[in-house]
Every structure is written in structure tokens, then in C-alpha cells.
Amino acid sequence: MSTNTTENTIPAGYWKDARGILTPESLIKPVDKERDALVKAIVERAKPLQKALRDFKQDTFADIQALVDLSAEQYGATIGGKKGNVTLYNYDGQFKVQRAMQDRIAFDERIQAAKKLIDACVAEWTQGARPELLAIIDQAFTTDKEGDINSGRVLQLRRHDITDPRWLRAMDARAEAVQVVSSKSYIRLYERVGDTDQYVPISLDIAGV
């Protein structure tokens, strides 16, 4: 018979399930025991890999930054571009390492001013505007479940060659509303394909190996 327990220790001969209920081991089905053993074995193997990847990322960032600092010190130059992006090649070009920094952006309250200006344009253009453009504008300001606006769609509005002063003011308001809310860093590794100028990723993502 199963029983409830609030104690941290499990009596000998019992198994505790996810609800905290104790069940005699003799009542546990063999397939449930096999599943339990398999999941535990997979996780036990995965944890050291996770730590190794975390340590690898931290050490690699530190090593790349040390090289950047050394280059700046010795040659008065800085490796890389904006946001700290860096691409390094080994001597014969067989391998390539990239340090990539990516910002996540959101919009503050000024995006509502941009929306009002665009709405004014749309109201006037309704008769003559292309349906595709109206759909793009409508989708750009659609919020997700968290109430956030898709920043990519809003930023793409700048691509349209529209000279209406209200539209241009809307694009200015949109640009001023951009706020960087977080930043992520990545390490990407590549190996050259033979003697070509093509590189293929060395995947560290479990889905890509």
C-alpha cells in the first residue's frame, strides 16, 4: 500500500514518487524501474558535460579577450568590430573561432507615439495603400502573450521607402524607443572544407551533432 511522507529519508524497501508518496519496492513495475535507471544514467552523464561546456565557454571568452588586449597593447589596434564581435583564424586558416555578442531589445512608451503617427498615415492611405503594406504595419505592432511587441517586425518598417513627414517622425520615434534590455554572448567554431573558402560549424549544440 502506498503512503504519504514529508520526511527527507526514504525507508528501506520503499520508493518515493513525484508526489511524495511511498510505495513498496515490490509493487514497482519492472518497466518503471528500468525507466528510472535509464533517466538517472543519462542525467548523470549529462551533468559533467554541462559543466565542461560552461567552463569551456568561460575559459574561451577569457582567452579571446586576453588576445584582444595583447594585440591592442602591442600594435595599438583592436581585433573585432562593434559590440565586441571577434573572428579569429589559426595560422593556416583551417579553423575559425567567432565571439559574437547579441543584444535583446525592447521598446519603451515612445513606441506608442510611433504607432499613433503610423495609424494617422494608414487612415489616410486606406483607399490607395497596398494590402500587403497594411498587413505588415498591423502585424508589426501585434503583441505576444507577454504583451511585448516583436522588435524585428517593427525595425523592418524602416525599409519601406515612404516620405510622408508623419511616417518619418514615426520612424524617429521608433528609433528613440529602442532599449537594450539584455545581452547574450556566443562562441562559434568552424572548420574549413578542404582547400575551399567554405567553413562548416563545429556544433556544440546537442541537436546539431
- HSE of 52, CA atoms in CB hemisphere, 13 A: 6
In this structure, are 80 and 166 located in the same domain? no
CA R_g for the chain: 28
In this structure, are 56 and 93 located in the same domain? yes
In this structure, are 88 and 55 located in the same domain? yes
Look-up of cell digits 579569429: 88
Give the N- to C-terminal CA distance of the chain in Å, as an integer.
Answer: 45
In this structure, are 78 and 114 located in the same domain? no
119 belongs to a structural domain: yes
| Euclidean distance between CA atoms 188 and 151, whole angstroms | 25
In this structure, are 164 and 130 located in the same domain? yes
Q: What is the pLDDT of residue 82?
A: 46
74 belongs to a structural domain: yes
Sheet holding 21-24, edge to edge: 3-4, 21-24, 14-16
In this structure, are 94 and 132 located in the same domain? no
160 belongs to a structural domain: yes
Domain that holds residue 168: 109-176
Q: What is the pLDDT of residue 179?
A: 75
40 belongs to a structural domain: no
Contact 115, 188 (CB under 8 A): no
In this structure, are 188 and 171 located in the same domain? no
> The whole model's pTM is what?
0.59
138 belongs to a structural domain: yes
Strands (E) in 65-121, as ranges, are 86-89, 95-107
Q: What is the pLDDT of residue 169?
A: 80
In this structure, are 100 and 113 located in the same domain? no
135 belongs to a structural domain: yes
From first to last of its 209 residues, the chain has per-residue pLDDT tens of 555 544 568 899 999 999 999 999 999 999 999 999 999 999 999 999 999 999 999 999 889 888 888 887 776 665 554 457 889 999 999 999 999 887 777 677 777 777 777 777 766 766 665 666 666 666 666 666 555 556 666 666 666 677 778 777 877 877 777 777 667 888 999 999 998 999 999 988 877 66
In this structure, are 85 and 188 located in the same domain? yes
In this structure, are 115 and 170 located in the same domain? yes
3 belongs to a structural domain: no
Residue 117 sits at φ, ψ, to 5 deg, of: -65, -40
In this structure, are 123 and 172 located in the same domain? yes
All three cell numbers of 52, joined, read 565542461
In this structure, are 56 and 159 located in the same domain? no
**Beta strand 178-192 with 199-201: parallel, antiparallel or unpaired?**
antiparallel
How many domains, in total, are found in the chain? 2
